[in-house]
Structure 1
Amino acid sequence: MKNRKINLEEREIPESWYNIVADMPNKPLPPLNPGTLEPLGPEALAPLFPEALIKQEMTTDKWVTIPDEVRNMYSIWRPTPMYRAYGLEKALDTPAKIYYKYEGVSPSGSHKPNTAIPQAYYNKQEGVKRITTETGAGQWGSALSFACQHFGIECDVYMVRLSYNDKPYRKMMMNTWGANVYPSPSDRTAAGRKILAEYPDSPGSLGIAISEAVEMAATREDTKYALGSVLNHVKLHQTIIGLEAIKQMEKAGSDLPDIVIAPFGGGSNFAGLSFPFLRLNLEGGKKIRCIASEPASCPKLTRGVFRYDFGDTAGMTPLLPMYTLGHDFIPAPIHAGGLRYHGAGVIVSQLLKDNLIEAQSHDNLEIFEAGVLFARAEGIIPAPEANHGIATAIKEAKICKEEGVSKTILFNLCGHGNFDMKAYDDYFSGK
C-alpha cells in the first residue's frame, strides 16, 4: 500500500514560531501615523492590542517561544497531516509529485485557529474582557469565537454581509461558541452607517468590517481588537504550518519541494506555509519557488501598486506600506470571501517587491473547476479560498507534464468547504 499520509507526533509540535523579518535583506518599511506621517511607535497600537502582541508585531527576533498553554491547545488538532496527492497526480497524468498540508482538521475547519489561540491567550493574560474582529467567509470569526470561548472572553464579530447571507452555518458555528455576529456594514458603528447611507445594498468587504471592529475596540476600555491576517504577528503564529511541513517532507523521505503554493488574501495563509521554506532560500541558498495565489477579481499582488495605504475602508488604521488596490476598493462578490481584501500584508509586500516570492491570479470559474477536480480525485471538498492554491498547483503540474520534468509541489489546503456548498451549487448551476 502506498504511504499517502505523513503524520507527526504531538511532541513534534514546534516550540517556537519563525519570524522571517530577521532574515529579510530589506526590512519592511514602518507603519505611519496618518495625521503626522511619522513612523508609528508601539504606544499607538496600545488601544487595540495587548502589549505581548505589540512586541511580536515589532520584533526582529528570529524565533519566538510558543507558550505551553498555547501548545497544549494546539495539540487538540496539531500536528496537522500532510498528504501525497496520488489521486490528483493520476487525474492530471503528471510526472510531478504533489503534496498538500491539510489545515481543515482544526475545530473550526481552517488554519485560522493557529493565530486565534495565541491572540486570545495574550489578551486573557492582560485581563481583556471583550475582543472585536471582522470576518469574511467566517473562518476567522469561527476560529476566534472558539479561542475566546476557551479563555472566557466575549467575542463580537463583524461578518461581511455577503457571507453573512450566503454562509448561515458559519454564523451558527460562531453563535455556538458564544460569539455575537453582526452583518457588515451595520448600523452599530459610524463607519457602517456611512457606508449604508451611500450604498444601502452594499455586500460589504473585509475593509469595511475591519473599520467597524476597530471603531468598537477603540471606544471601549475593556475591549481589544484582533485581526485574522495582514499583520506581522498573525503571520508569525501561522509559521507553525511550514515548520511542521518541513519535518513531514523529511519524514516522507522526499526532497524539499521545488514549488510551495498557498492562497492569498491578506497573507497569513501564504506566510504560514511559505515563510519557513523561504528561510531555507534566504539562509541556506535553496531555490524554492513560493507562489501566492489570489483571485483575479481582487488582484492586489498581480495588479496592485506598492504604496502606503490604510488597512481599512474608513481610514481608521495606520498607513501601511503594501501592495494595494486602494482602501476604498470594494471587491466583486465572489464566493472566496476570505480573500476579498484590498491590500497585502507588509512583510509579503516587501518580499514581492524584492522578487523573493511570486504571485498568480485565477478567475472564479477556474478555481471551482480545480476544486471539483481535487474533490473527485482526493475526496476532500476544499473551501473556495483553498481552491486558489489548488488551481496554481494544477497549473504548475501541467507545466511539468508539458516539459517532461518531475518537480515536487507542496500546497496548503487551508480548510474544508463543508459550509460552502452554496458556492458549489452556484458553480454547478452556472451562476
Structure 2
Amino acid sequence: MTGLPSAWRSVLPHLGYDLPADLTPEGSGGPVVATVPLELIRQSTSRREFWPIPEPVLAEYRRYRPTPLWRARRFEAETRATVPIYVKYEGGNISGSHKFNTALAQAYYYQRAGFRELVTGTGAGQWGSALAAACATIGLACTVFMVGGSLRDKPYRGSLMRLYGAELHASPSALTAAGRKAAAGDGGNSLALAIGEAVEYARADPKRAFCIGSGETYSILHQSVIGLEAVDQLAALGADVDTVVGCVGAGSNFGGVALPYFAAARNGERDADTALVAVESSATPKLTRGVYAYDHTDSTGTGPMEAMYTIGSGYAIPASHSAGLRFHGAAKVISAMRHRNQIQARAVGQRAALDAGRTFARTELVLAAPESGHALAAAAAIASGRDGHRPRRGVLVCVSGHGLLDLSAYDKLLAGLPEDAPADEGGLRAATAVLRAVPPTEGG
C-alpha cells in the first residue's frame, strides 16, 4: 500500500479565476465577527498549492490512513460494467466517514486559536460523529445539533456522539430562538436549521466556535488526502481511470476524491480528459436544477452570503434517507467549477441509491451509507454506459459511511420503499426567485 501524503493539495491555483467574494446580508448590522482560525482562512483564500499537514494531525491520520482502494470486480459484473470500477473506501475510521479528515484538522486549529468548545449542525450524523470523535481526541468540548428526523431514523449515530462525550440536541430544539421559531411552525426538517441553531448557540460564549464540515474551501482542502492517495494507489496497481465520482451534500466527499485529479491535470501530471462527476440527491438538486446565486448558508440569515448553486435556503426539503446530502447549496468552489463546466453533475433518487448500496453490500461485502449509494448508482450507470457517458479506462468512486447505522433506511427499501417524488418545481422557483444571481464578471 502506498504512503500517506504529508501535505494537502489546493485546487485554487489551478482554477484560472478567483472565487466570488462573500456578501454581508442586508440588515445584519455589518460583517459577522469571524471565529474561524486565521490558518483556515488562509487555506481558503491563498493560491499556495501544498499545505504541510501539522504533525499532530498527521499522527492521527496514521492511525487509519492510507485508506483501502480496490477493484470492485463483483460489483462490476452485477451492474454489467464495461470498464473497471475502483472503490476508495473512507468508512473504516471510528466515525465511519471521510469527515474525520477535516474534523481532526479543524479541532487542531481551533484549539490552537484558544477555543474550548466546538459547535456544529449535522444531517445524517456523520459529520457530528466525526467532530465529536475529533474533539475527544484533541481535548475540546463538543455540542451537536442534529436534524430531528434523521436522529429519529438513525438513533445510534446520536449514541456514537454521546459516547465520545458530545452534547447532542435534536433540531429544532428549545435551546435556541431559531429552534423555537421553527418548532412553532412546521417543525423544520433541514440541515440549514440545525446549522442555524449551532451558529446561534456558539455566539453565546466567546470560548465556543461554530465549525462546519463540508462547504468551506478549507474543509475540501483537508479532504484532498483521499484523491492524492487514490492517484498513487492506482499507479501502484498499474491502473488508471478517466472518470471520478463522488456524492455531494455540500461537496467535501466529491471534492476530496476529484479535485486532486483536476489539479494534476492542470499541472501537466496526467491527461486532462478525466471527467469529474458530482452526484447529488434528486430531493435536493442544487447542481442539476438550482441556480447560481448568493444565498445564506444557514437559516438565521446573519452569516455571510456565498456564491453557490442553490435551491434556496428557504426551500422545504422533503424527508429522505439521503440526509447527509440534504443541504440546499453546494460549496462555493464546487459551484464555481460547475458554473464553468469544469465538473459534471448527476442527480439520483433515494430508491436507486439504496438499491446500489444493497448491490454493493451483496457483491463487495461492504454496507455503504445511503449518501454513498448515490455515488455507487451513478458509477454503475457510467461504467455500463447507461447514462450516455462512456469511459475508456475505468471509474473511481469514493465510498464513505458505515451503513450499519443506516439499517432503518435499508429496512424500508426491503419493505418496498415508495418511488421518489421529484423536487417541486414551483417550490424551487419560489425559493430561488428572491436570490441575487452571481454576475458574469464574478462567476462566469
Q: TM-score, normalised by structure 2?
A: 0.90
Q: Identity over the aligned pairs, expressed in percent? A: 38
Q: Within 2, Cα distance between the matches of 1:404 and 1:113? A: 33
Q: Partner residue of 1:254?
A: 239
Q: Which amino acid aligns with 1:248?
A: Q
The secondary structure found in structure 1 opposite 2:307 is strand
Query: Any residues of structure 2 matched to 1:163-242 within 5 Å, and which?
Result: 163-200=150-187, 202=188, 204-242=189-227
The secondary structure found in structure 1 opposite 2:361 is helix
The secondary structure found in structure 2 opposite 1:419 is helix
Q: Within 2, Cα distance between the matches of 1:283 and 1:322? A: 26
String of CA shifts for 1:371-392, please: whole Å, max 9, x gaps: 1111111110110000000000
Query: Any residues of structure 2 matched to 1:300-379 within 5 Å, and which?
Result: 300-379=286-365
Query: Any residues of structure 2 matched to 1:8-87 within 5 Å, and which?
Result: 8=2, 12-35=3-26, 44=32, 46=34, 48-87=35-74
Q: Is 62-71 or 49-58 further displaced after alignment? A: 49-58
String of CA shifts for 1:258-297, please: whole Å, max 9, x gaps: 1000001100111000000011332225110000001111
String of CA shifts for 1:74-117, please: whole Å, max 9, x gaps: 11100001011011112133321110100011111110100000
Q: Report how far residue 425 of structure 1 moved.
A: 0.1
Q: Within 2, Cα distance between the matches of 1:414 and 1:61? A: 28
Q: Within 2, Cα distance between the matches of 1:184 and 1:99? A: 37
Aligned length: 415
- Structure 1 residues not aligned, in runs of 5+: 1-6
Contact 1:400/1:406 (8 A) holds in 2:
no
Q: Report how far residue 57 of structure 1 moved.
A: 2.4
Pairing 1:109–2:109 present: no
Q: Within 2, Cα distance between the matches of 1:423 and 1:258? A: 32
Contact 1:104/1:415 (8 A) holds in 2:
yes
Corresponding residue to 2:130 among 131, 134, 143: 143
Contact 1:370/1:390 (8 A) holds in 2:
yes
Q: Within 2, Cα distance between the matches of 1:184 and 1:38? A: 27
Q: Partner residue of 1:397?
A: 383
Pairing 1:96–2:80 present: no
Q: Report how far residue 28 of structure 1 moved.
A: 1.0
String of CA shifts for 1:383-404, please: whole Å, max 9, x gaps: 0000000000010122079999
Contact 1:50/1:224 (8 A) holds in 2:
no
String of CA shifts for 1:317-355, please: whole Å, max 9, x gaps: 201000000111131111121100000100000000000
Corresponding residue to 1:269 among 231, 253, 267: 253
The secondary structure found in structure 1 opposite 2:230 is helix
Pairing 1:123–2:110 present: yes
Q: Report how far residue 127 of structure 1 moved.
A: 2.1
Contact 1:132/1:155 (8 A) holds in 2:
yes
Q: Which amino acid aligns with 2:15?
A: M
Q: Is 87-96 or 76-85 further displaced after alignment? A: 87-96
- Structure 2 residues not aligned, in runs of 5+: 418-444
The secondary structure found in structure 1 opposite 2:384 is helix
The secondary structure found in structure 2 opposite 1:79 is coil
Give the root-mean-square deviation of aligned CA atoms. 1.9
Structure 1 stretches of at least 4 aligned residues deviating more than 4 Å after TM superposition: 36-40, 400-406
Q: Within 2, Cα distance between the matches of 1:403 and 1:206? A: 32
The secondary structure found in structure 2 opposite 1:213 is helix
Q: Within 1, Cα distance between the matches of 2:309 and 2:391? A: 33
Q: Within 2, Cα distance between the matches of 1:355 and 1:253? A: 30
Q: Report how far residue 251 of structure 1 moved.
A: 0.6
Contact 1:109/1:415 (8 A) holds in 2:
yes
Q: Within 2, Cα distance between the matches of 1:404 and 1:349? A: 24
Q: Partner residue of 1:422?
A: 408
The secondary structure found in structure 1 opposite 2:395 is strand
Q: Within 1, Cα distance between the matches of 2:54 and 2:26? A: 37
Q: Within 2, Cα distance between the matches of 1:293 and 1:402? A: 15
Q: Which amino acid aligns with 2:18?
A: K
Q: Report how far residue 215 of structure 1 moved.
A: 0.9
Q: Within 2, Cα distance between the matches of 1:344 and 1:189? A: 26
Q: Is 55-64 or 185-194 further displaced after alignment? A: 55-64
Q: Within 1, Cα distance between the matches of 2:295 and 2:214? A: 16
Q: TM-score, normalised by structure 1?
A: 0.93
The secondary structure found in structure 2 opposite 1:121 is helix
Contact 2:280/2:346 (8 A) holds in 1:
yes
The 3 A distance-change label for structure 1 pair 263 and 403 is closer
Contact 2:215/2:250 (8 A) holds in 1:
yes
Contact 1:26/1:350 (8 A) holds in 2:
no
String of CA shifts for 1:181-226, please: whole Å, max 9, x gaps: 00011111111111111214x3x21100110111111221110111
The secondary structure found in structure 2 opposite 1:208 is helix
String of CA shifts for 1:40-74, please: whole Å, max 9, x gaps: 7xxx552x322222222222211111101100001
Q: Partner residue of 2:432?
A: none
String of CA shifts for 1:142-171, please: whole Å, max 9, x gaps: 000000011111100000001111111100
Contact 1:159/1:183 (8 A) holds in 2:
yes
Q: Is 307-316 or 380-389 further displaced after alignment? A: 307-316
The 3 A distance-change label for structure 1 pair 400 and 286 is farther
